[in-house]
């Protein structure tokens, strides 16, 4: 069984869409969950700051910004 490369939110390009599949940091996931970033939620990369970090996604029609380090704890499946 081959190990799939971990796809995290931080790898998305602007305009790309994905589904949230899980989290790798439990404490951080609580904050993200509250903000509506749920497993199964459809997200889209909305903007990336000029210096490459932080980034801004849309989820459920509103925008959420987070740092790369935070985005790296969100596992996704690109659609």
Partner 1 sequence: MQDSLTHKVALIGNPNSGKSSLFNILTGLNQKIGNFPGVTVDKKSGQCILVSQVNAEIIDLPGTYSLYPKSEDERVVFDILMNEKDKHHPDTIVVVADASNLSRNLLLFTQLQDLGLPMVLALTMIDVTEKRGLQIDIELLKKLLGVPVIPINARTGAGVDKLKAAMMSPLSRKSGEGFYRSVMFGCSVVENIKFKFGIINDYKALLIAHRYNVISHFTEAEKLAVKQICEKDDFQSLSFQAKETVARYEFINKLLAQVITRTKVDSVKDRLSSKIDAVLTHKIWGYAIFFATLFILFQAVFAWASLPMEWIDMGVSALNGFFKDVLPAGPATSLFTDGLIAGLGGVLIFIPQIAILFAFISVLEESGYMARVMFIMDKLMRKFGLNGKSVVPLVSSVACAVPAIMSARSIDNVKERLITIFVTPLISCSARIPVFTVLIALVVPQDYVWGIFNLQGLALMGLYAIGFIGAIVTAKIMQIFLKTEEKSYFIMEMPDYKTPRWKNVGLTIIEKVRTFVFEAGKVIIAISIILWALASYGPGNGIEQAKIKAETQAKINGFDQAQTDNLIASYKLEESYAGKFGKFIEPSIKPLGFDWKIGIALITSFAAREVFIGTMSTIYSIGSDNDDENTIIERMKAEVNPETGKPMYSFALAFSLIIFYVFAMQCMSTIAVVYRETKSWFWPTAQFVYMTGLAYLSSFLVFQLLGLK
Question: Which residue's entry shows tokens 């932080």?
Answer: 54
Question: Is residue 46 a contact point for partner 1 (CB under 8 A)?
Answer: yes
Among 19, 28, 72, 75, binds partner 1 (CB under 8 A): 28
Among 10, 20, 32, 43, binds partner 1 (CB under 8 A): 32
Pairwise CA distance, residues 30 & 15, whole Å = 26
Say if CB 33 and CB 41 are below 8 A apart.
no
Output the CA angle 6-71-64, nearest 5 degrees: 140
Residue closer to partner 1 by CB (options 19, 33) is: 33
Could you list the residues that contact partner 1 (CB under 8 A)? 26-36, 38-39, 46-54, 56, 60-67, 70
């Amino acid at each position: 069984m081959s190990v799939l490369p971990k796809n995290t939110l931080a790898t998305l390009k602007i305009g790309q869409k994905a589904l949230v599949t899980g989290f790798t940091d439990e404490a951080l996931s609580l904050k993200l969950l509250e903000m509506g970033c749920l497993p199964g939620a459809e997200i889209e990369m909305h903007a990336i700051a000029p210096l490459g970090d932080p980034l801004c996604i849309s989820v459920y029609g509103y925008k959420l910004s987070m740092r790369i380090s935070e985005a790296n704890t969100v596992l996704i499946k690109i659609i």
